Amino acid sequence: MSELKNKKVLVTGAGGFIGSHLTEALLERGASVRAFIRYNSRNHWGYLEELPSHKKSEIEVIAADLRDFQAVSKSVKGMDIVFHLGALIGIPYSLNYPFDVVATNINGTLNILQASLDQSVSYTIHTSTSEVYGTAQYIPIDEKHPLQPQSPYAASKVAADKLAESFYRAYNLPVSILRPFNTFGPRQSLRAVIPTIATQLLEGEKLLLGNLEPRRDFTYVADTVNGFIHLAERPKVEGEVFNLGTGKDISVREMIELISRTLGVEARVEVDAARTRGNQLEVMQLLSDNSKAANILGWKPSFTLEEGIRRTVNWVKEQKGRFKTHLYNI
């Protein structure tokens, strides 16, 4: 029996890529799930709409804005565990609209932390990103690697992480930080490189991409979700930070070759200047040291890159006509 059975849990960012998968996994473990999604007039629940009807009926949905403390406080009330995934994550978007990203990622996190403290939530899990490390000073990257943000998005996540740490130290808030490395899989938007490559190849177009040399540690979404589950089920790790990654990296160029082989097509690549971030902005290598998560949480990735790509490509095939592949998604 899962230790999360009958627990009352809140997932912020529940309509997003990782959040929707986490919500589904929590339901499967018998948790009572409240989903916080960003308000829209269409009453659309994002990728929660992908869930079967019987699962959607089990979710309590609150549609609001993380920047609104009253809404956040209402959503946190009565919860045992808070999974805070809600954020604006686009790096190019953060370059164009840093005020929006800062307000959501920093003030939104502050609201979650304060509400969790006010209402004595048993455990809060804050989601970070490997982008906080910037281009690696050494590899593999462990949790002690310097934080050197190279975009407003990364800077906002550093600030949010430090707020979480400060609430643990100053107020004894039971909070921990998960730092996923480049999660991929079904339901990911075209802001990410893997669905961008797959959709363009499936439409028979030439590949319009930015820099092909950066290397990333790609982790399949089910493994990232299992990291959240492992952390929620492990007591007495408050105040800790955990990397979630495979410990292997691959360049964008190599990823193109892998996806091309999976689809059985030939890629015609063209570098698009609009998608190139420049030397000061581009994080060139992210490769995780996941030993802390393995040793303390008992977590390790289960999916190979090849299997994850196969599952992701199959999902992308099912989305034919859904994506605007001719546009650069920021």
Would residue 123 show up in a list of annotated catalytic residues for this protein? Answer: no
Q: How far apart are the C-alpha atoms of 176 and 165, rounded to whole Å?
A: 8
Q: How far apart are the C-alpha atoms of 312 and 299, rounded to whole Å?
A: 22
Residues 6 or more apart from 51 whose CB is under 8 A from it? Answer: 20, 23, 24, 59
For 291, the 3-state DSSP assignment is helix
Residues 6 or more apart from 215 whose CB is under 8 A from it? Answer: 249, 250, 251, 284, 285, 286, 287
Name the amino acid, one letter, at 326: H
The catalytic residue among 47, 153, 168, 220 is 153
For every residue of 9-56, DSSP letters joined together read: EEEETTTSHHHHHHHHHHHHTT-EEEEEEE--TT---GGGGGS-HHHH
Q: How far apart are the C-alpha atoms of 218 and 202, rounded to whole Å?
A: 21
Q: Any idea which residues carry the catalytic annotation? A: 153
